Structure 1
Amino acid sequence: MKAETHPWTRWWWMGNAVDEANIIRSLKLYADAGLGGVEITPIYGAVGFEQSYIDFLSPNWMRMLNTSVQQAHNLGLGVDMNLGTGWPYGGPQITPESAAGKLVVQTYEVKAGQRLAEKLVVQDPRQQKLGAPLKAVVAYGPKGERLDLLTKADASGQLNWQPSAGTWQVYAAFGGHTGQMVKRAAPGGAGLTMDHLSGEALAMYLRRFDTAFGGKPAGIRSFFNDSYEVYDADFSPRLFEEFQQRRGYDLRLYLRELVSKENNEQVARIRDDYRETMAEMVQQNFTKPWTNWIHGQKAVSRNQAHGAPGNVLDLYANVDIPECETFGLTKFPIPDVRYYTVDTKNVPPDPVMMKFATSAANVMGKPLASSETFTWLGEHFKVPLAHCKSQAELAFLTGVNHIFYHGTTYSPEQTNWPGWLFYASTEFAPSNSWWPHLEGLNEYITRCQSVLQAGQADNDVVMYWPVYDVRHNAPPKLDMMISIHTIEEWLYPTAFYKNAMQLSKNGYAVDFVSDDMIRQAQPNGSGLRVAQQGPRYKALIIPSVEFMPVETLANVVKLAQQGSTVILQELPKDVPGFHELASRRQQLKALTAGLSFAAAGNGVQVAKTGNGQIVLASDVQKALEYSKIGRETLTDTGLQFVRRNDNGTRYYYLVNHTANTVDSWVPLNTSAKSVTILDPQDGRAGLASTTADGSQTKVRLQIKPGESLILKAVEQAEVAVQPWQYLAPTGTPIAVSGDWKLHFTGGGPELPKDQNLGKLTSWTDLADDNGKRFSGTAEYTVSFTMPAKTGADYLLKLGDVRESAHVWINGQDAGFIWSYPYEKKVGAYLKKGKNTLKVEVANLMANRIIDLDKRKVEWRKYHEINFVDLYYKPFDASGWQLQPSGLLGPVTLQPLTASASNVQ
């Protein structure tokens, strides 16, 4: 398989204190575990290793990079690289003039016949230090006068002007700076954050890389940009000029409104124009030229656009691999799931938020949509592999098909356990006690992604994202960051969000489009296509929207006139922005007045236009039903899905995150001659039992809570595939019990003594106190007798496992059991008579960390933020309760019988 089908990981280089031997050793460990590639991100270093630090992009650093690329390629791994250290972009090459800017406005009062005695210079000492040139001076008179006085101020800031009558307010605007430095910077990477609105700043930033690379491609697959975290950056040296060019009026004359504490309509509209200008500048001055530069390096761009003050759909659409992220943990009602972290701080990962990145990939026909996955999935050392599975599935269901773990910290072999660790990661590191079982998760993700990267996304409809509503209703700041941490403010209250969630729940696969995507869209039969290489969609949905540009509505109407199905939840109410407001309002009114709607029943109205029609309904699903766009009714069972279409072969990825088993005939909204079931948990495949039902195909499915299946629906009969085996429990479960031999195999701080157990119990309850502080692996071995093999198969159920297992039966490797429901079909390995079961169990790192902190062993020794807990407080596990560990059982073998599968 391609490297991209495997999960990749962010590879933190702490202090750039890397060496060739440990690079080669580490990459071999990663490849053996089933990873597909690494993304190098340098950050701050460990205390005591300063002599090993390497300056970013120095000749020695480049030598380490080349070693990494060569070794990775030898192992079949890929290498990505953060185009910077820490985040966001910045560094020593960034001067104050090219650093993130902030508009600073000071006000003065001048009376008739007087001059302003005070010089127009910035008063903030911090701004004085960084330099804050005067960019605008406007005087506001008692009768509404507005005077541009910039030319009246000399080089020293003396204003040579006096009013002839009344008292005037003078507003002076300065090109200030946020002063933000690169967060978590590595040696050689510290410095001011870059101005992402300035093409000149980007060019300055990239010149350092041009020098380091020497005009030769570095063998990097993609260059990466982390989520936009440039705080309070709302100005750039050319912003006033670009604003006038783009918006058509001189913003400097409206300084008073721009910074007003009021939130009246005019103020909101001027701020909206300001945010729109910033959005265009970050896209045209950063994202597009950044991607072009990367293409010149024979690489592709990978970008997290969320957080940026732009239309994130467009920012994602202008890169090669759009990337979302999961931050925090989503809890599912899967039975017996144990959650070890109480998180009242973070909003769980939201599927709609994640779909901004995947929608851009889908709509524009890009093959990959990636995800920074498992960031702060739980408190350190308390995250089992089972939690990773459901979060990865959540990402897959949103359209992600290229997972990056967050993450793996490079750690030299000579460091003491737990090695070097990054403060916000789930520790995908060889020091983690469950590392020997990581292969199970990696195999699962690889099987899923091998299908989810095939062909194209196969979604039903696209829905417009009303970004102008978001900007207009934003808090009274100049910048508007589309952040995952503020979705409760800008996303949850919207009709867009409510529609996206409801349609998904009811079986419609939805992608999102921007104003610019609608501009690019072309009719395709009764549907539409945005990009030539992108998929066809059956309809365009416009949710309830307050503000819509005239051009967008005109493009929507044009698509309908050309035959595309267009659905409106209601007509747009107004246009955004301030420039030529009356004229644009009149144009919008004329467009909407030209649509004559007639009742079509069931709350649906229809307006004929050109070769098509626009369907108007407050209930979008009723409009879809009227337009004969069917849903996947399989969601009525509680299953969730995502589809791919590979040259006519349709793949369904199905997940059961409910509390109930689905064992029934499930309808697919497709007509297929045959359906093959693929089990990504263990790689099994078989031909499903199906029946035709009109235009639908019904498939017999059995999916327990916590499980997933992939369906391959084809238009021709599959003859070379064995039938899928449908099984049901029969008879009494066989208890696997007796004299369990327990042997600890790896971990620490010390291996507990071997034990003979008549009853399975937690390591923390053993007589040997080393079991209380042990984190690692241990093998359980037991012999049992099967009088006969009467079942069609047997289900090995391990019961309570803390936290993952690797199973051998009669010396044969039966695979990993690492997630709910902690069971596996093992009939092929069993025999009549005496059988031997060996189960290797790995626990969490928590108990060993508790022991270190109780003994006050100093293992957290890093610069900058050092090591913090989920609430960003200094980490301390000394007060934690011990985590139950090992195989707690009961262990049983459930006989299974073949169940009827060819009748409905």
Structure 2
Amino acid sequence: MMDLTGLHLNLIVQEGQPVKFCYISQMLHKTILACCITALSFSVSAQTKWPAINQQTRPWTRWWWMGSAVDEKNISSSLQQYSNAGFGGVEIVPIYGAKGYENRYIKYLSPQWMQMLDHTVQQSNKLNMGVYISVGTGWPIGGSNVTIPDAASKLIVQQYKLKASTPFMEKIVVNDPKQKGVAVLSALMGYNKNGGVIDLTNKVDTSRTLQYNTTEDLDLYAVFTGKTRQAVKRAAPGGEGYTIDHFSKAATADYFKIFDTAFGNSSHGVKAFFNDSYEVYNADWTPDFFTEFQKRRGYDLRQYINLFVSDAVNDTVARLKSDYRETLADLMRENFSTVFTQWTNKRNTLSVNQAHGSPGNLLDLYGAFDIPETETFGSSYFPIKGLKRDSGDIRNVDPDPNMLKFASSAAHAYGKPLTSCETFTWLTEHFKTAWSQCKPEVDQVFLSGINHVFYHGTTYTPADVKWPGWLFYASVNFVPDNSLWPHVKGLNEYITRCQSVLQAGEPDNEILIYWPVYDVWHHAKGMDMPLKVHDVDHWLHPTNFYKNVVGLQNAGYSLDFVSDKMLEQASVTNGMISVVPKGAKHKVLVVPGCDKIPVATLKNIIRLMKTGATVIFESQPQDVPGFNDPQKGKQALQALLNESKIATSDVAGALNQLKILPEPMATKQLKFIRRKTTEGMYYFIVNNSANDIDEKITLQSPATTVLRMDPLSGAINVLTAEKNANTTAVQLQLRSGQSIILKLSKKAESAPAYKSVKPAGEAINLQNNKWTLSFKDGGPQLPAIKQMTGIKPWTSFTEDSTIQSFSGTGVYTTTFTIKNKAADYLLQLDKLYESARVIINGKEAGLIWSLPYELKTGSFLKEGQNTISIEVCNLMANRIRDMDRRGQVWRNYHEINFVNINYQNFDASKWKVQPSGLDGAVQLIPLK
């Protein structure tokens, strides 16, 4: 008998539901089994080719609990809606509340709050969903239990003049009134005109008076450890308080004590604890910094405070600042990141962290957590045909996909299976984001190595709150009240299929490129230098590192970034470089042109070379970083370079000589990322250019079978391929805006042959048909039915005020006749505002929500008369506009309330009516 283990029968077994068995006679059993196998052979063959779908492969969403005003009934109903829409889990972040609902607020981590969390986990488990939780409310990390000693610290330096043979009468106290009672004197140093220095810290008595006489004039520098007094932003009730000192192990450990009380030794079913982006301001110090600095850098920074805080812009100051920044990086990794992860792992759960914005080596900080998480912010430009991008509805930022690679590189290096991303933050102005705008943005995220997407996001809303429900001020509103919600499952299923592949196997990037962080840190201006997403123009774009990264990617190479600490751990096996044995393996290490590199790092690179690694130096580094005897370090560096006879070369030329070849598809402006498995290789390929592609492309991987896997429809087909020893060539059709997955399998696999899309005659043009337009599922009220000849947006009925204010679903219906049915048909919609469900002859044919707006429909059509209904969902914008024009109150929150994309007061009353429905041609193109 055939083994049916793992067979997925849609009509019998539903995911997450118990399987019902019945007894069948042996004879009937064999008959039914044979019929099932025959009837379902095609669908099973296709379905089983996709990697397993589970909660982890589905998209998750950040779930804001406003005021933590949640209850079990609404939690259950909300989670059911999210599950039905295809979400795999929620990430709970309590924030400020809505006004008028204060009696529902629940104090953070109170027994009642924990009861709501437990209920959430219980209900999620029933739905095969997961739960992550933020370690705090709002952001950054902190709260009511953070004491002044544990709060974020800042460096305060005050200067005085001590005259020879003259008593110093001034008190050594901090001048800033906000620092009174909190700032602590860390050092008092005196400097004479000859450069001599004396430590006077112990000469200050308990009354803060300097007890010291001198025969020479001294410049005094008083160093205080002050407090930023930064509070948690957007805090929920019970979560208000100071931000913690990220550089203090004691502060981090103390912070988690409140969680120890609430959670005990259990995770309460929470799969991961999450920390949001750093966003801590002016926190550039910690109480024991001088001690830690001397231990790590080998000299006493107090001796050079006069230089360290000077306005001089020179090499000496830059070296001191570099050592200072490296020390902050060490402290944040060891005293915050490591402690955080250890706390979560003791509860058999995972740590998630957004390291960007931190004053440290981002690769090392991401790498210290179980799941590195990055974020997108704003809208990227893509020249996709038909993609809307109104300059008035986007922020003046352009997300850089290589910023995302810091997180994925860390995950790849340490063999962490997941890299997550806060996705779509401020993608467009509120209520104006279509799912078609989300696709290219999430494709870019995937291309950067991300495989665990979190939407930004979803706000919990009780059922008794009127439309549009509770909303968070900085998000795309992935909420059931969104008029586009009926079609969000299309986006979710697309992401699910992509992530099922991108979570399979392991990354396949041939190049490891060194990130010279010491060139970034060697800067005389500023203090802690947080590496922010919004500041890449300063710390990333001007570097040779970045120019190499972009140049190699444009040429068709795949790469990961590597830090000094990673190189310290790296080893070589059979010529392949890996940071840890379970981590990603790379063919070559590229050292881009850089000025400064530690001797220890160069020694590690030479060690790798001696054990079989291939290394390309773009140029020889000239210097060492840091202040502690740089001349000695420079001599040691030069000796190593001479001894090892390191040659330099053009990177692209060297790669060509080494026969490390790029993917030629890059010359067609196609972007890709690869994953390798025991079965072969996956290519995720995206065409976000303005051009349609219908060309033969060569892939730098061998294959026995090539499968074309469409993450939009789920269809799987065999592609005809030209196979060589090391390459495979296929004909690739990919329209502007489309993406595809190619599986290059080592074994023979069966699926229907792919039929290229070629017109087979004159299109059936439905544009000028008689159409009925009806409305459902929206508001503020349903407009009357319209009869029209020819397609046009419903907002073109300017005389009907109910249509102008309507957000919801409009249904366009017409009939047409097919005389001689073609093999297949492609439904093409010229202009769609914004997504559509297509129903043909009473059967659902599919969703159209991404560019190009088209859908294969041949299996639903018949010869003779056919009926087509196109259910179009529009944006929330027109209804919000109407509410603001009427002065209706719908935004009424504590703290920031509700702002527009430029963080100004939100007002939609002056918006133009957003076009809604269908416009232009509606065609059925017969296909060969």
Same fold flag (TM > 0.5): yes
Q: 2:849 aligns with which of 798, 801, 818?
A: 818
Contact 2:709 2:742 in 1 (8 A): yes
Indicate whether 1:732 and 2:762 are aligned: yes
**CA deviation string 1:434-493 (max 9, x = no partner):** 0000000001000100100001001111100011111113x6222010110100110110
Indicate whether 1:122 and 2:153 are aligned: no
Residue number in structure 2 paired with 1:202: 252
Q: 2:135 aligns with which of 83, 94, 100?
A: 83
Contact 2:275 2:353 in 1 (8 A): yes
Residue number in structure 1 paired with 2:237: 187
Q: Residues of 2 paired with 1:739 and 1:426: CA distance?
A: 36
Residue number in structure 2 paired with 1:603: none
Alignment of 1:663-812 (within 5 A): 663-693=694-724, 695-718=726-749, 720-736=750-766, 737-766=768-797, 767-790=799-822, 792-812=823-843
Q: 1:273 aligns with which of 305, 323, 326?
A: 323
Indicate whether 1:330 and 2:380 are aligned: yes
Q: Residues of 2 paired with 1:443 and 1:345: CA distance?
A: 28
Q: Residues of 2 paired with 1:144 and 1:508: CA distance?
A: 53
Residue number in structure 2 paired with 1:148: 199
Indicate whether 1:509 and 2:558 are aligned: yes
Q: Residues of 1 paired with 2:395 and 2:531: CA distance?
A: 19
Indicate whether 1:24 and 2:111 are aligned: no
Shift of 1:573: 1.1
Q: Residues of 2 paired with 1:591 and 1:454: CA distance?
A: 41
Residue number in structure 2 paired with 1:428: 478
Over 4 Å off, 4+ runs = none
Q: 2:862 aligns with which of 818, 826, 831?
A: 831
Q: Which amino acid in structure 1 is aligned with residue 704 of structure 2?
A: K
Residue number in structure 1 paired with 2:210: 159
**CA deviation string 1:625-658 (max 9, x = no partner):** 1121111111112111000011141000000001
**CA deviation string 1:44-91 (max 9, x = no partner):** 010111111111000110011011110111111100000100000111
Q: Residues of 2 paired with 1:772 and 1:763: CA distance?
A: 8
Alignment of 1:280-319 (within 5 A): 280-319=330-369
Alignment of 1:232-243 (within 5 A): 232-243=282-293
Deviates more, 1:761-770 or 1:204-213: 761-770
Shift of 1:781: 1.4
Residue number in structure 1 paired with 2:652: 621
Residue number in structure 2 paired with 1:610: none
Shift of 1:344: 7.1
Q: Which amino acid in structure 1 is aligned with residue 520 of structure 2?
A: V
Shift of 1:661: 1.1
Deviates more, 1:807-816 or 1:285-294: 807-816
Shift of 1:203: 1.1
Alpha-carbon RMSD? 1.1
Contact 1:110 1:162 in 2 (8 A): no
Alignment of 1:31-70 (within 5 A): 31-70=83-122
Q: Which amino acid in structure 2 is aligned with residue 342 of structure 1?
A: G
Q: Which amino acid in structure 2 is aligned with residue 277 of structure 1?
A: T
Residue number in structure 1 paired with 2:34: none
Residue number in structure 2 paired with 1:451: 501
Contact 2:394 2:429 in 1 (8 A): no
Q: Residues of 1 paired with 2:353 and 2:279: CA distance?
A: 13
Q: Residues of 1 paired with 2:831 and 2:257: CA distance?
A: 56
Residue number in structure 1 paired with 2:540: 491
Contact 1:341 1:378 in 2 (8 A): no
Shift of 1:186: 0.5
Number of residues of Structure 1 aligned to a counterpart in Structure 2: 874
Residue number in structure 2 paired with 1:611: none
Contact 2:63 2:93 in 1 (8 A): yes
Q: Which amino acid in structure 1 is aligned with residue 667 of structure 2?
A: D
Q: Residues of 2 paired with 1:156 and 1:759: CA distance?
A: 88
Shift of 1:838: 1.1
Q: Residues of 1 paired with 2:724 and 2:123: CA distance?
A: 54
Unaligned stretches of 5+ residues in structure 1: 597-606, 608-614, 898-904
Q: 2:668 aligns with which of 634, 637, 652?
A: 637
Q: Which amino acid in structure 2 is aligned with residue 385 of structure 1?
A: W
Contact 1:340 1:383 in 2 (8 A): no
Residue number in structure 1 paired with 2:15: none
Shift of 1:342: 2.8
Secondary structure of the structure 2 residue equivalent to 1:342: helix
Shift of 1:508: 0.4
Contact 2:414 2:582 in 1 (8 A): yes
Secondary structure of the structure 2 residue equivalent to 1:868: coil
Shift of 1:328: 0.5
Q: Residues of 2 paired with 1:882 and 1:344: CA distance?
A: 18
Secondary structure of the structure 2 residue equivalent to 1:163: coil
Residue number in structure 2 paired with 1:539: 588
Unaligned stretches of 5+ residues in structure 2: 1-52
Residue number in structure 2 paired with 1:885: 916
Q: 2:574 aligns with which of 480, 502, 525?
A: 525
Q: Residues of 1 paired with 2:419 and 2:402: CA distance?
A: 14
Shift of 1:535: 2.2
Contact 1:465 1:514 in 2 (8 A): yes
Q: 1:857 aligns with which of 878, 888, 900?
A: 888
Q: 2:275 aligns with which of 206, 225, 229?
A: 225
Residue number in structure 1 paired with 2:46: none
Q: Residues of 2 paired with 1:344 and 1:793: CA distance?
A: 40
**CA deviation string 1:482-519 (max 9, x = no partner):** 11010011011011111111111111001000001111
Contact 2:606 2:644 in 1 (8 A): no
Indicate whether 1:110 and 2:162 are aligned: yes
Q: Residues of 2 paired with 1:733 and 1:712: CA distance?
A: 33
Shift of 1:730: 2.9
Contact 1:753 1:768 in 2 (8 A): no
Secondary structure of the structure 2 residue equivalent to 1:788: coil
Contact 1:808 1:814 in 2 (8 A): yes
Alignment of 1:166-177 (within 5 A): 167-177=217-227
Contact 1:397 1:642 in 2 (8 A): yes
Shift of 1:693: 4.3
Q: Residues of 2 paired with 1:240 and 1:135: CA distance?
A: 8
Shift of 1:381: 0.7
Q: 1:72 aligns with which of 124, 134, 140?
A: 124
Contact 2:359 2:530 in 1 (8 A): yes
TM-score, normalised with respect to structure 1: 0.96
Q: Residues of 2 paired with 1:560 and 1:215: CA distance?
A: 46
Alignment of 1:839-850 (within 5 A): 839-850=870-881
Contact 2:379 2:394 in 1 (8 A): no
Q: 1:442 aligns with which of 492, 507, 510?
A: 492
Q: Which amino acid in structure 2 is aligned with residue 541 of structure 1?
A: V
Q: 1:485 to 1:343 in 2, by over 3 A?
A: farther
Contact 2:189 2:200 in 1 (8 A): yes
Q: Residues of 2 paired with 1:789 and 1:584: CA distance?
A: 79
Secondary structure of the structure 2 residue equivalent to 1:664: strand
How many percent identity over aligned positions? 49
Secondary structure of the structure 2 residue equivalent to 1:890: strand
TM-score, normalised with respect to structure 2: 0.93
Q: Residues of 1 paired with 2:161 and 2:789: CA distance?
A: 88
Residue number in structure 2 paired with 1:365: 415
